[in-house]
Amino acid sequence: MKIEPKATNESAAARTASLRAAKPASGAAAPAAAAPRPAAGDVASVMGIPEHEFTPKVRAAIMALMEEVAALRREIAQSNQRIQHLERLADQDSLAPVANRRAFVRELSRMMSYAERYGAPSAVVYLDVDGMKQINDTWGHGAGDAALTHVAQVICDNIRESDIAGRLGGDEFGLILAHADQALANEKAASLAQTIADTPFGWQGNQLRLTVSYGAHAFMGGGDPAVALDAADKEMYARKRGALKAG
């Protein structure tokens, strides 16, 4: 605290006596050190309470409140991370490392809206794993599940980051190709089918060759995702029956 000078007519003895009275006697306990004041940023964050009102109790209460706010922020951040994790789980297929049907159809709808807005061609590919019944009957359903996971992984390893793969159910997969016309979609589907056939699937020491049939449908504008999927599905079955040539 700043000490104002006494009046000029005050005697030196009086001033000396006054200073002695203010000084604690020898051996007396020194007054407790003032508690450190909050930083300027802290003072500004407590609704404009004047700095001189920050008594030790007020400061302790404010610091406790700030710790609670920090803890709440951490909890909110952790909750957001859990929500994002659950959202990813809700969109992921229960077996294969791809989107489930619900998420796939949602993304297809978005892609169709994008294509309509910007006039960019895109396509959907329908893939069906051949001979799954024989694999299940011969090697068991564990082998069938592993085969589907293998196919999904090969697909994921051979598409662009902008493309979206999904499992549509059973042994059927879908693929959304951004900026792809019909010719490019057919070419990509044929390439994937060949890559899957050329990548052996190992099961209990046996090398099994997996093949897929495919169909593709390109679109330029909006529409019904179910109609687009059905068109690709029909082409896939036509190719499976041999009515369509590869490519």
| Percentage of the chain exceeding pLDDT 90 | 53
Residues with Cβ within 8 Å of residue 187, at least 6 apart in sequence = 247
* Strand stretches in the chain, DSSP E: 122-129, 164-169, 172-177, 201-203, 206-208, 212-219
Amino acid at site 160: R
**CA pair distance 88, 83, nearest whole angstrom:** 9
Predicted confidence band at 23 (pLDDT cuts at 50, 70, 90)? very low
Q: What share of the chain is helix, strand, coil (3-state, %, to 5)?
A: 55, 15, 30
C-alpha pair distances (Å), 61 with each of 38, 49, 68, 96, 126 = 12, 13, 11, 53, 63
User: Would you say residue 7 has pLDDT above 50?
Assistant: no
- Contact in structure between 95 and 166 (CB atoms under 8 Å): no
Which CATH number is correct for 101-240, 3.40.50.920, 1.20.1640.10, 3.30.70.270, 3.30.200.20?
A: 3.30.70.270
Write the pLDDT tens digit of every residue in 24-40: 444 444 444 554 554 54
User: Would you say residue 84 has pLDDT above 70?
Assistant: no
pLDDT of residue 74: 87
Kindly state the average pLDDT of the residues 77-99. Answer: 78
pLDDT of residue 78: 82
Cα 11 → chain centroid? 79
pLDDT of residue 223: 84
| pTM of structure | 0.65
Residue 143, H or E segment: helix 141-157
Write the pLDDT tens digit of every residue in 127-177: 999 999 999 999 999 999 999 999 999 999 999 999 999 999 999 999 999
pLDDT of residue 48: 66
Handedness of CA 60, 63, 64, 65 (dihedral sign): positive
Predicted confidence band at 244 (pLDDT cuts at 50, 70, 90)? low
Which residues lie across from 87 on neighbouring strands?
Answer: none
**CA pair distance 247, 36, nearest whole angstrom:** 78
**Of 5 and 215, the one with more pLDDT:** 215
pLDDT of residue 125: 98
**CA pair distance 64, 50, nearest whole angstrom:** 19
pLDDT of residue 37: 55
Write the pLDDT tens digit of every residue in 44-79: 445 566 767 777 887 788 888 888 888 888 888 888
**CA pair distance 211, 226, nearest whole angstrom:** 25
Handedness of CA 83, 161, 245, 120 (dihedral sign): positive
Write the pLDDT tens digit of every residue in 205-232: 999 999 999 999 999 877 899 999 999 9
**b/e map 137-155, b = 16+ CB within 10 Å:** eebeeebbebbbbbbbebb
- Contact in structure between 166 and 173 (CB atoms under 8 Å): yes
User: Would you say residue 13 has pLDDT above 70?
Assistant: no
